[in-house]
């Protein structure tokens, strides 16, 4: 019984994982998905220069990557107009969130998030013994004023806020974000997850102010940059807080191929504009498909669209399963009332076409399952 080796905290943790990958579902159904629209990956891919750089770096894989990721860190800093000391690179936002929680959350420490927001953040908080306080969404969006009020009420160490939001696609303007930052108690650190902000309207992200100590922002190469499989995320914040990651991180965790790919991606500054155009068109198309079958597309500032079924979570779950049986991988929000929607990632026409083709039958099957 190896549980005897575990800490009391580790023994108390569930064995569940935040997300089951599409590959596990493919193995269960015995066939590959033909439309991969569930993980908000970018089927539009990365810049060609990034692929070429990774191909070249494959031959150099016998060498560890630079543990300081010096060049990539400077390139990201230039990209955003901040100092390199304000940037920490890690194995995706997921990995960096885990390190941040480890640095800041002790047993029983209160943490505020939204009920239905990113499960992986909640996973890390629980995993480090923190106490989660969840604020409801308001009108399908995270509620900054309620988050700030909850932070004051419980004395939150961390306040998680995704802008734009996943899984709903909703967003707030930069003024509202700035107001939230100003509104938080002195000892609450805002965890501003901007994984999707490259795809949001101008004016969604406030300007960077890395002199401000009580906010840390997270960006990624997994979404608009189209490099989810390379695992490169980064945090931008006060250099004093950023430096603290060195006390706990896996210094050689960033591989050489991944670093080379992300660095080359940044050299193609036209990529984001191109992808924004493609994603905007795909959002329209997903909305059209949904509306054509009685679903209501919610406004989105991301590379996915939540389609409101107008029914309940059981129905949406049945619909996601029915689409899966037809080779279409989508996901959905995890908690009520958000879970009456399904969440469809923006992808190339061919994938959206397969979604459109599968939807009528899948809807019929989901309806039948409810009778």
Query: Which parts of 332-351 interact with a copy of itself (CB under 8 A)?
Result: none
User: What is the closest distance, in whole angstroms, from the C-beta atom of residue 18 to a copy of itself in the complex?
Assistant: 7
- 92 or 324: CB nearest a copy of itself: 92
| H or E element, residue 277 | helix 271-291
User: What is the closest distance, in whole angstroms, from the C-beta atom of residue 272 to a copy of itself in the complex?
Assistant: 15
Q: Site residues for a copy of itself, window 282-311 (CB under 8 A)?
A: none
For the chain, give the number of residues: 371
Residue 67 near a copy of itself by CB under 8 A: yes
**Both tokens of residue 141?**
């969006």
Residue 21 near a copy of itself by CB under 8 A: yes
How would DSSP label each residue in 50-86?
HHHHHHHHHTTTTSPPPTT-HHHHHHHHHHHTS-GGG
| H or E element, residue 25 | helix 22-29
Q: Cβ(105)–Cβ(157) under 8 Å?
A: yes
Site string for a copy of itself, 115-154 (x = CB under 8 A): -----x------x---------------------------
Which range, of 61-69, 76-84, 292-300, 336-344, touches a copy of itself by CB under 8 A?
Answer: 61-69
Site string for a copy of itself, 71-110 (x = CB under 8 A): --------------------xx-xx--x---xxxxx--x-
Tokens 């049986």, residue located? 325
Residue 176 CB neighbours (<10 A): 14
Residue 8 near a copy of itself by CB under 8 A: yes
At residue 110, φ and ψ (nearest 5 deg) are -80, 140
Residue of the chain from 28, 31, 32, 70 that contacts a copy of itself (CB under 8 A): 70
User: What is the closest distance, in whole angstroms, from the C-beta atom of residue 71 to a copy of itself in the complex?
Assistant: 9
- 171 or 221: CB nearest a copy of itself: 221
How does 322-355 read in b/e, with b if 16+ C-beta sit within 10 Å?
bbbebbbbbbbbbbeebbbbbbbbbbeeebbebb
Q: Count residues contacting a copy of itself (CB under 8 A)? A: 90
Q: Site residues for a copy of itself, window 192-221 (CB under 8 A)?
A: 213-214
User: What is the closest distance, in whole angstroms, from the C-beta atom of residue 117 to a copy of itself in the complex?
Assistant: 17
| H or E element, residue 124 | helix 119-127
User: What is the closest distance, in whole angstroms, from the C-beta atom of residue 88 to a copy of itself in the complex?
Assistant: 13
Task: For residue 80, count CB atoms less than 10 angstroms from its CB and return exposed for 0-12, middle for 13-18, buried for 19 or more.
Answer: middle
Nearest to 112 by CA among 73, 158, 55: 158
Q: Cβ(215)–Cβ(242) under 8 Å?
A: no
User: What is the closest distance, in whole angstroms, from the C-beta atom of residue 368 to a copy of itself in the complex?
Assistant: 32
Contacts of 187 (CB under 8 A, 6+ apart): 155, 157
User: What is the closest distance, in whole angstroms, from the C-beta atom of residue 158 to a copy of itself in the complex?
Assistant: 8
Residue 271 near a copy of itself by CB under 8 A: no
Q: Which residues make beta-bridge pairs with 282?
A: none
Residue 42 near a copy of itself by CB under 8 A: yes
Q: Site residues for a copy of itself, window 226-265 (CB under 8 A)?
A: 226-231, 237-238, 240-241, 243-244, 246-248, 250-258, 261
Residue of the chain from 62, 108, 270, 371 that contacts a copy of itself (CB under 8 A): 62
- 106 or 201: CB nearest a copy of itself: 106
């Amino acid at each position: 019984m190896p549980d005897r080796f575990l800490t009391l905290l580790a023994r108390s943790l569930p064995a569940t994982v935040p997300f089951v990958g599409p590959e596990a579902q493919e193995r269960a159904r015995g066939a590959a998905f033909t439309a991969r629209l569930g993980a908000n990956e970018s089927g539009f891919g990365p810049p060609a220069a990034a692929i070429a750089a990774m191909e070249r770096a494959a031959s150099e894989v016998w060498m560890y990557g630079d543990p300081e990721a010096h060049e990539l860190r400077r390139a990201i800093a230039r990209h955003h107009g901040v100092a390199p000391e304000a940037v920490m690179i890690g194995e995706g936002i997921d990995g960096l969130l885990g390190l941040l929680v480890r640095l800041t959350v002790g047993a029983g420490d209160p943490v505020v998030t939204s009920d239905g927001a990113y499960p992986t953040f909640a996973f890390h908080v629980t995993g480090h013994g923190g106490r989660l306080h969840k604020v409801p969404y308001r009108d399908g969006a995270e509620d900054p004023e309620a988050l700030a009020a909850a932070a004051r009420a419980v004395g939150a160490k961390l306040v998680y806020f995704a802008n734009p939001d996943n899984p709903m696609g909703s967003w707030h303007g930069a003024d509202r974000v700035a107001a939230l930052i100003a509104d938080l108690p002195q000892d609450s650190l805002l965890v501003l997850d901007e994984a999707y902000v490259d795809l949001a309207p101008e004016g969604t992200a406030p300007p960077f102010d890395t002199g401000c100590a009580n906010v840390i922002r997270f960006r990624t190469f997994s979404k608009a940059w189209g490099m989810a499989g390379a695992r490169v995320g980064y945090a931008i914040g006060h250099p004093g807080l950023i430096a603290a990651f060195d006390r706990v991180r896996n210094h050689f965790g960033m591989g050489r191929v991944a670093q080379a790919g992300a660095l080359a991606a940044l050299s193609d500054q036209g990529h984001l504009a191109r992808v924004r155009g493609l994603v905007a068109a795909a959002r329209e198309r997903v909305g059209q498909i949904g509306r054509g079958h009685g679903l209501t597309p919610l406004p989105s500032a991301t590379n996915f669209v939540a389609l409101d079924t107008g029914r309940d979570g059981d129905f949406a779950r049945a619909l996601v399963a029915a689409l899966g049986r037809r080779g279409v991988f989508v996901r959905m929000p995890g908690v009520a009332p958000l879970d009456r929607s399904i969440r469809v990632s923006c992808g190339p026409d061919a994938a959206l076409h397969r979604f459109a083709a599968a939807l009528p039958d899948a809807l019929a099957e989901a309806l039948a399952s409810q009778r």
